Amino acid sequence: MKKFVFILTIITTILIGCDKNDFLWDLPRTNSIDSTQNQIPDNPKWPVASFSASSPSITLNNNVNYLSTSTQNPTSYYWYFPGGTPTTSIESSPTIQYNTIGKFDVKLTVSNNFGTDSITKEDNIEVYYFKSFLNDQWEGWINNGWNFSNGVTCSGCIYAWQNTYNYPVTYTISKDFTDLPQNCYLEFYYYVYSPAGTIKVKINGVEIWSSSGYGSGNPVIAIPTISNLTLSFEADVGYTQSIFLNDIRIKP
């Protein structure tokens, strides 16, 4: 009995002299939300993963600057950027380029001597195609009859117009797109400056939208689920009639 009391006394003395953090193991922990909303972990020295991005939405072939805002002084970083270039990084503030239309996740894992934490933000970056004709460049579009416009009617647009014939003439502009994700949308600006002109949108030669007569707008049109396609705009214009087009977007 005396031996048991002696051993118990030793154990009690050791426990009183210990800090609670001495009994925490270096195990991974995963956050589902940002550190600004996260509860303090059991070990206050454990890192809490968090990051910010320079923009939530960019145009195709542009960059996003990421910055780790993780707390508790992480000593290592591992980023994963599906759809980005490069796809991984060990920097605290990497710059990533996106060359594919879509919405992409971003994951960050941070570590220090006390543990490891990670956070994944789904659909963190939206990458979309955008074409404005303000720079007077076709940039891959195959043009048949459209012209650049610098006039007050639609500055920075392209326009279809003819003054030679008394019957409608069709002008087209088209571009091939590859590796499109599902459920994309087409957006653009048009202005039919004519009582009888018609503008049409075609995918692989099949008409999916049209508008005739005076009017303008910014339609949003669902693109058929085709990963590789040819997008075409057709303008049917009669004598001295004009149709304007600009700000073409394909968004995921």
pLDDT of residue 53: 97
Ordered alpha helix ranges (H), 40-165:
none
In 92-240, beta strands by DSSP E: 95-98, 102-112, 115-131, 142-144, 147-148, 158-162, 169-177, 185-193, 198-203, 206-212, 215-217, 220-222, 229-237
DSSP tag of 71: B
pLDDT of residue 42: 59
200-221 burial, b for 16+ CB within 10 Å, e for fewer? bbbbeeeeebebeeeeeeeeee
The mean pLDDT value for 28-48 works out to 57
Query: How do residues 192-210 score in pLDDT, each as one tens digit?
Result: 988 888 999 999 999 999 9
Amino acid, res. 11: I
∠ CA 100-174-131, nearest 5°, is 50
Q: Are 48 and 119 in contact (CB under 8 A)?
A: no
Q: Does residue 97 register a pLDDT over 90?
A: yes
The mean pLDDT value for 12-39 works out to 45
Distance CA 37, CA 141 (A): 47
The mean pLDDT value for 156-171 works out to 87
Consecutive H or E run containing 7: helix 2-16
Q: Does residue 55 register a pLDDT over 50?
A: yes
Return the CATH class of domain 24-128: mainly beta
Return the CATH class of domain 132-251: mainly beta
Full-model pTM: 0.81
Residue in 233, 136, 105 with CA at minimum distance from that of residue 96: 105
Q: Where are the domains of the chain?
A: 24-128, 132-251
- 11 band by pLDDT with thresholds 50, 70 and 90: very low
pLDDT of residue 185: 97
Average pLDDT score, the chain: 86
The mean pLDDT value for 7-18 works out to 46
